[in-house]
């Protein structure tokens, strides 16, 4: 029998992802609205689009895995991604709100998920890989870390004062986390 949570408990996983998101939000704060349209290379995402994508990937995967629903309901942001992106990517405050909202929704959806959502193979995912829910969530987590690395490089190229990279270097996360 496969363990229900092969890599971590749901609470530990979410706590760690919260730490990653804390650093992502601190990185976002080092940019100004006028920086969000910067594109390192033609054809790549802008700074704002990268932050929007981080939230969008988590939103889509967490909803799909935890609520077992890959298609948007009326009023959800992916009902019209281009419109949501256009309304979000030009403002540090709107991006911060988006990334915070997705973090909070993921926690809510974890609480509402049925027992098999994380452990079962998911042949219904849009990548048609038939991989398990835990692995799909780790995919979205890794995507955030990957794109955050790109954003650190861009921030440094633009002369921004960036926060420490790892959440353990942030007492507002680590001190609280260590006390759990």
Q: What is the pLDDT of residue 135?
A: 85
Which of 39-43, 67-71, 122-126, 175-179 shows the lowest per-residue confidence on average (mean pLDDT)?
175-179
Contacts of 89 (CB under 8 A, 6+ apart): 36, 46, 48, 49, 51, 52, 95
First to last CA, the chain: 29
User: Please, which residues bridge with residue 131 across strands?
Assistant: 122
Q: What is the pLDDT of residues 24-36, one digit of tens each?
A: 999 999 999 999 9
Residue 52 CA to residue 127 CA, distance in Å, equals 20
DSSP-based three-state secondary structure for 32: coil
Q: What is the pLDDT of residue 73?
A: 94
Domains of the chain: 12-178 (1.20.120.450)
Instruction: Determine what percent of the chain is predicted with pLDDT higher than 90.
Output: 64
DSSP secondary structure of 45-96: PPHHHHHHHHHHHHHHHHHHHHSS--SPPTT-GGGGHHHHHHHHTT-HHHHH
Over the chain, what is the mean pLDDT?
89
DSSP secondary structure of 91-140: -HHHHHHHHHHHHHHHHHHHHH--TTTTTSEETTSTT---EEHHHHHHHH
Mean pLDDT of 69-97: 96
pLDDT tops 50 at residue 153: yes
Residue 12 CA to residue 31 CA, distance in Å, equals 30
Instruction: Determine what percent of the chain is predicted with pLDDT higher than 70.
Output: 92
- What confidence category does residue 127 fall into, taking pLDDT thresholds of 50, 70 and 90? confident
Whether the CB-CB separation of 60 and 72 falls below 8 Å is answered with no
pLDDT tops 80 at residue 169: no
């Amino acid at each position: 029998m496969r363990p229900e949570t092969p890599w971590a408990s749901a609470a530990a996983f979410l706590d760690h992802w919260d730490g990653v998101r804390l650093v992502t939000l601190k990185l976002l704060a080092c940019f100004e609205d006028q920086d969000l349209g910067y594109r390192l290379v033609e054809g790549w995402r802008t700074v704002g689009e990268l932050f929007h994508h981080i939230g969008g990937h988590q939103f889509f995967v967490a909803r799909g895995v935890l609520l077992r629903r890959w298609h948007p309901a009326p009023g959800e942001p992916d009902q019209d991604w281009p419109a949501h992106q256009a309304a979000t990517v030009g403002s540090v405050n709107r991006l911060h709100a988006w990334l915070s909202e997705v973090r909070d929704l993921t926690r809510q959806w974890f609480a509402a998920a049925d027992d098999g959502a994380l452990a079962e193979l998911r042949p219904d995912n849009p990548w048609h890989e038939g991989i398990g829910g835990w692995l799909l969530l780790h995919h979205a987590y890794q995507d955030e870390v990957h794109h955050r690395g790109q954003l650190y490089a861009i921030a440094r190229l633009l002369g921004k004062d960036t926060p420490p990279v790892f959440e353990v270097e942030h007492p507002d996360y680590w001190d609280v986390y260590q006390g759990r």
